[in-house]
Amino acid sequence: MPVIAVVGGQWGDEGKGKVVDFLAERVNMVVRFSGGDNAGHTVINPFGKFKLHLIPSGIFYPDVTCIIANGVVVNPVVLTKEIDDLNKRGIDTSRLFISDRANLVMPYHILLDGLEEEARGGGALGTTRRGIGPAFTDKVARLGIRAGELLNRETLKQRLGFVLDYKNRILTRVYGVEPVGLDELYQQCCRWGEGLTGHLRDTSAMLDEAVSNGDTILLEGAQGALLDPDFGTYPYTSSSSSLAGNGCIGAGIGPAKIDKVVGIFKAYNTRVGAGPMPTELKDKTGDLIRERAQEFGTTTGRPRRCGWFDAVAARYSQVVNGLTGAVITRLDILDAFDKIKICVGYKLDGKTINYFPADAAALYRCQPIYEEVAGWQTPTSHITGYDELPSRLKDYVSRLEGLIDCPVHLACVGPERSQAVIKTPIF
Ligand code: GDP
Ligand code: IMO
Ligand code: MG
């Protein structure tokens, strides 16, 4: 009956979708609580291969209720397509509910995301251009349109008119582009409302009831701790908090209700988009990881930057999330390496440090200090029991466990649901 938050421990794409799909067999509800369709969660299970951007990765179980909560910004076009695509592939989405408090990603947010990136020139953040930053900006500026508003046509037109007037002044006067037409957008919103009406709910009330019933609930995070706008590599971050703490506000649940916080880590590091990454390998080893792992963005297809496991960053992620446990994914990718490095400290301006600096400029100057371990050099993808894993792999996992400073629950050796080896049970 616990509530478990599953969050990214690095720069996103750690395998949250895979792990949630694996764990969801044992739960009653899965709740996405942050980000938007900038997220791309890959699930490979007996139904096929899926790339989910908004829908929780528990959707493949007929008895699991799935919620897109208030903390997510929802692009109705993407959501509608995702629902349709799943339905076409025989996946039932009638247990999918969307918070009436969730802010919407509007066409002008997507326009502005692109225009802002162009305006940043060489300082571009490398966003996914899905309108996520502008949508979260409007949420706190109180200029957002919320999902529930789609159902009240009169007030919707009024608010949309007010907001669009403001947005169009920015589009035309700052960026010199065409304004967005009110009537067309209003008609579009009405159609979205009709399409989504059966899914809209006060999802926080649903969650409260589930907690009271003693249900087991997963809070599915998006992005990762190092993309968090407070604790990540600011300004090279996303725009909503990816930490477990946001599982409370983003889902509408009190802090004392979360029992466990599980951080997902790749066995090495990747990052997509701009910003510092101390262990990035711009050499053949980095290329080898990218090729072996097919490290290309799930949402944008961009090549991911690859490097060795950064234990300084991982330990920091454990602290800011309050992790009670971890999962290590993609260990099989390291099957091919005779030597594996782990970053255990940084050299910054001639000094050795073991903390994660707040300043992105300082992080750019950090040189990793590595410890080297021997690789296991044997295939692992077929292994299902922890004891059967090569002893050097187990040594590697134990070393990461010590450095991150929390128990490892699962060691993942492949992308499929079944390729997760239990070390310490979560439930
Ligand atoms: P998410 O955003 O955290 O859900 O992660 P993504 O789906 O964006 O990226 C993770 C990638 O790693 C996907 O292609 C997964 O199919 C894949 N993956 C997850 N776990 C493993 C693993 O243990 N081994 C391998 N080889 N691939 C994995
Ligand atoms: P999941 O949930 C990896 C990155 C973008 C960019 C920065 C800001 O799949 O792990 P944004 O569009 O959010 O304004 O972009 O954040 N980013 C991600 N990187 N995985 C993600 O999500 C990401 N979501 C955003 O590449 O660097
Ligand atoms: Mg992803």
- Look at residue 1 in the predicted model and tell me its pLDDT: 66
Longest dimension (CA), the chain: 66
Atom index in ligand 2 nearest the CA of residue 127 equals: 15
Residue with tokens 């957002």: 144
- At residue 299, the pLDDT reads 78
Taking residue 396's Cβ as centre, other Cβ atoms within 10 Å add up to 24
Q: Which atom of ligand 2 is nearest to the CA of 128?
A: 12
Give the pair of three-digit tokens for residue 287.
Answer: 């290329």
Distance, in Å, from the CA atom of 29 to the CA atom of 1, rounded to the nearest integer, reads 11
pLDDT at residue number 298: 75
State the Cα–Cα distance between residues 245 and 248, nearest whole angstrom.
Answer: 6
Task: Report how far ligand 2's centroid is from the alpha carbon of 272 (Å).
Answer: 7
Question: Is residue 223 lining ligand 2, measured as CB closer than 6 Å?
Answer: yes
SS3 state of residue 144: coil
Q: Which residues of the chain have pLDDT under 70?
A: 1
Query: Residue 363: which H helix or E strand, with range?
Result: helix 360-365
Residue 236 tokens, joined: 């090279």
Taking the centre of ligand 2 as the mean of its atom positions, its distance from the CA of residue 209, in whole angstroms, is: 32
Asked whether 13 lines ligand 2 (CB < 6 A), one says yes
For 92, left (φ over 0), alpha (ψ -120 to 50), or beta?
beta
β-bridge partners, 219 = 5, 31
Q: Which ligand is nearest to the CA of 223?
A: 2
* Residue among 7, 18, 418 whose CB has most ligand 1 atoms within 8 A, to mutate: 18
Name the residue of 19, 54, 57, 330 whose CB sits within 8 Å of the most ligand 1 atoms, as the mutation to test its pocket: 330
Our answer on whether the CB atom of 264 is closer than 6 Å to any ligand 2 atom is no
Nearest to 164 by CA among 151, 141, 183, 191: 183
| Ligand 1 atom showing the smallest separation from residue 41 Cα | 4
Residues with CB under 6 A from ligand 1: 8, 12-18, 39-42, 44, 298, 329-330, 332-333, 412-415, 419
Local structure of 136: helix, strand or coil: helix
C-alpha 380 – ligand 1 centre gap (Å) = 16
Structure tokens that stand for 262 in this block: 């599980």
Q: In whole angstroms, give the CA distance from residue 119 to residue 124.
A: 8
Question: CA nearest 356: which of 196, 263, 226?
Answer: 226
Question: Residue 263 pairs with which residues in a beta bridge?
Answer: 7, 326
Q: Which of the residues are catalytic?
A: 13, 41
**Residue 385, SS3 per DSSP:** coil
The DSSP element (H or E) to which 6 belongs, if any, is strand 3-8
Q: Is 2 in the pocket of ligand 2 (CB under 6 A)?
A: no
Residue 300: per-residue pLDDT? 83
- Asked if residue 90 lies in contact with residue 119, where contact means CB atoms within 8 angstroms, the answer is no
Per-residue pLDDT at 302? 87
Indicate if ligand 2 lies below 6 Å from the C-beta of 38: yes
The helix (H) or strand (E) run that includes residue 50 is strand 48-52
Closest ligand (CA of 233): 2
Ligand that lies nearest to the alpha carbon of residue 54, given by its number in the listed order: 2
Atom of ligand 2 nearest to the CA of 38: 24
Mutation test of ligand 1: which of 10, 13, 43, 331 has the most ligand atoms closer than 8 Å to its C-beta? Answer: 13
Centre of ligand 3 to C-alpha 272, Å, is 10
**CA 174/CA 92 separation, integer angstroms:** 45
How far is it, in rounded angstroms, from Cα 266 to Cα 268? 5
What does the H/E/C string look like for 61-114?
Answer: CCCCEEEECCCCCECHHHHHHHHHHHHHCCCCCCCEEEECCCEECCHHHHHHHH
Q: Give which of 207, 200, 196 is closest to 247, Cα–Cα.
A: 207
Instruction: Indicate which atom in ligand 1 lies nearest the CA of residue 329.
Output: 23
Q: How far is the CA of 19 from the centre of ligand 1 (A)?
A: 9
CA of 51 to the centre of ligand 3 (A): 9
Q: How far is CA 225 from CA 136, 188, 244, 349, 358, in A?
A: 18, 35, 9, 25, 13
Question: How far apart are alpha carbons 25 and 64 in whole angstroms?
Answer: 8
Which pLDDT score, from 0 to 100, does residue 173 have?
Answer: 98
H or E, element range at 327: strand 325-329
Considering every ligand atom, which ligand is closest to the CA of 334? 1
C-alpha 180 – ligand 3 centre gap (Å): 31
Give me the pLDDT at residue 425, please: 96
Look-up: residue for tokens 């409007």?
Answer: 138
For residues 334 and 342, what is the distance between their CA atoms, to the nearest angstrom?
A: 12
- Could you list the beta-strand ranges (E) of 204-313: 217-220, 260-266, 269-271, 305-307, 309-310
Helix (H, G, I), strand (E, B) or coil at 400: helix
CA-atom Rg of the chain in angstroms = 21
